Amino acid sequence: MKKTLLALSLLSLSLSSAYLAPAYAALPFSVDGKELPSLAPMLERVTPAVVSIAVEGKQVERSRLPEQFQFFFGPEFPEEQVRERPFRGLGSGVIIDADKGYIVTNYHVINGADEIRVRLHDGREYEAELIGGDEMSDVALLKLDSVKDLTEVTLADSDKLRVGDFSVAIGNPFGLGQTVTSGIVSALGRSGLNVQNFENFIQTDAAINSGNSGGALVNLNGELIGINTAILGPNGGNVGIGFAIPSNMMKNLTEQILEFGEVKRGMLGVQGGEVTSELAEALGYESSKGAFVSQVVPDSAADKAGIQAGDIIVSINDKPISTFSELRAKIATLGAGKEVKLGVLRDGKSKTFDVTLGEAQQAKAKAESLHQGLSGAELSNTTSQDAIEGVKVTQVAENSPAARYQLQPGDIIIGVNRQRVKNLAEFRQVTENHPGVLALNIQRGDRTLYLVVR
C-alpha cells in the first residue's frame, strides 16, 4: 500500500516577468462595455517591491569512521572527516524601505550563504549585505547599498486580518520568475507546525510553492500582510495550505535587528497551555479562546505585575489572542523592555495588568553581517552572568575565517579599534565606520589579548 505523506516544507528555491494563474486567462475583460474588476492596477504598484534572491555558499559535511574500523586504522587516522560541499539556493524577498535599501526575507533562504544576490523587478542585479537574522522566527534583513529607484511595499496591520479576507501571494516558485496567485486567509494564529520555535502564522489557500520563501502576501490594497514561509504538501508542492509570518511580527523583529543587531525576545514568565473544553467547563468559562496560566515563574515580569496561576490571558494591548502559542509568539516578538497591557479573566471577572517584559535568553547573530573576517562565528550580547559587558563569541565553525583568526567560543569582545564596545549595536557602529582591518580587544578567561581580523 502506498501512503502519501504530507510534509511541511520550507520554500527555498527567484523575478523577471509577472505570471498570472491560467485560470484567469479565459475571463472576459468586459461585459456590455463595462470593465470587470481586476487585480492588475494593484499588482503594477506592488510587484516592483518583490525581488528574487540567489545564494551561494559551502555546506560543511561531517562523517565519522565507524567504531569497528578505528582499531585497524589506528589513532593517527582522524575519527571525523570534514568536507565542504558548494550549494546554491533561490528564494524571494520584499523591499520594506526603498531609501535605505532594506529587504526582508526568510532566514532559511540565506542561512549559510557566502554570497547573496538580489534581482529586481526591472532586471537589475546587486550583491546584498546581510544585516542580521533570527533563525527561531525565520526572518532575515538584507541591505542594498546606494541603489536608486527602488519601490517599497506598504505594511498593513496584520492584527486586523479576518478569516475570509482576500490574499495575494507574490514570489518566485521553482525559479520560474515572478508569479502571482490569489486566495483567502484560511486561518490565523497557526502554530505547532515544527517550522521554527516561534509560530503565529497566517494560513492561506493562495498557491504557494518552493521558491516563494520570503515573498509577499498582500491584501487587495497591495499592503503587506505577511512574508510567505512554508507550505503543507507532498514533496513541497501546493495543496492549498500555505503559511506566512504576519507583517506586524516581521516589523517588530526587523526593528530589533536594526536597533540591537539581534532579536531581544520578550519574556513574560508564565507556563501554561490551551483552554480545552474540559478546562473551560471547570472554570465556568464560556469560550475556548485564550491562554491558560498554570504556573508563574517567581520574580518574573508576570509575577511582578500580579499575574496568577489559574488566570486566562485573553488579550495583549486590547487585541484578542486565541491560544497559548499565540501569546508566546507575540510576547517574544514584542521585545524585551516593552510595556504591554494584558487582558485577564480571573474567577469570571475581567482584569487588566500592565507588564514590563523581561528579556529571554539571547538569540545568536551571524558575525559575517558585521565583518567578512568574522564569518563562521556566532555572536550575542553578554548577560548578567558574564563578568564583563561586551560581545560574546558563542560558536566558531571549523575551518572558517573566524577560526583561522583564532577566535574561540567563550571569548568576549570588549573593544574594536581602540573603541570600547558593550553590545552588538556598538560593535556594528564601529565596523560600519571602519570596514577594513579590525583590531579586536578580547577577554579570554582571566587574560586580555588582541586579535587582528582582515
- Annotated catalytic residues are 108, 138, 213
Q: Answer yes or no: is 177 a known binding residue.
A: no
Q: Answer yes or no: is 308 a known binding residue.
A: no
Q: Answer yes or no: is 269 a known binding residue.
A: yes
79-106 b/e with 16+ CB inside 10 Å = b? eeeeeeeeeebbbbbbbbbbeebbbbbb
Q: Answer yes or no: is 56 a known binding residue.
A: yes
Q: Answer yes or no: is 287 a known binding residue.
A: no
What is the spatial distance between Cα 181 and Cα 410, in angstroms, rounded to a whole number?
48
Helices (DSSP H) in 264-391: which residue ranges?
277-283, 301-305, 324-334
Q: Answer yes or no: is 200 a known binding residue.
A: no
Number of Cβ atoms within 10 Å of the Cβ of 292: 24
Q: Answer yes or no: is 270 a known binding residue.
A: yes
Give one DSSP letter per residue of 104-166, joined into a string: EE-HHHHTTEEEEEEE-TTS-EEE-EEEEEETTTTEEEEE-SS--S---PEEP-GGG--TT-E
Residue 445 grid cell: 578567561
Is residue 270 a contact partner of residue 290, using CB atoms and an 8 Å limit?
no
Q: Answer yes or no: is 213 a known binding residue.
A: yes
Q: Answer yes or no: is 271 a known binding residue.
A: yes
For 317-376, strand residue ranges (E) read 319-320, 339-346, 349-356, 358-359, 365-366
Q: Answer yes or no: is 284 a known binding residue.
A: no
- Residue 377 identity (one-letter amino acid): A
Residue 268 grid cell: 513574560
What is the spatial distance between Cα 242 and Cα 246, in angstroms, rounded to a whole number?
13
Q: Answer yes or no: is 443 a known binding residue.
A: no
Is residue 146 a contact partner of residue 254, using CB atoms and an 8 Å limit?
no
Burial of 274 (0-12, 13-18, 19+ CB in 10 A): middle
As annotated, the binding site for substrate includes 56, 108, 138, 211-213, 268-272
As annotated, the binding site includes 56, 108, 138, 211-213, 268-272
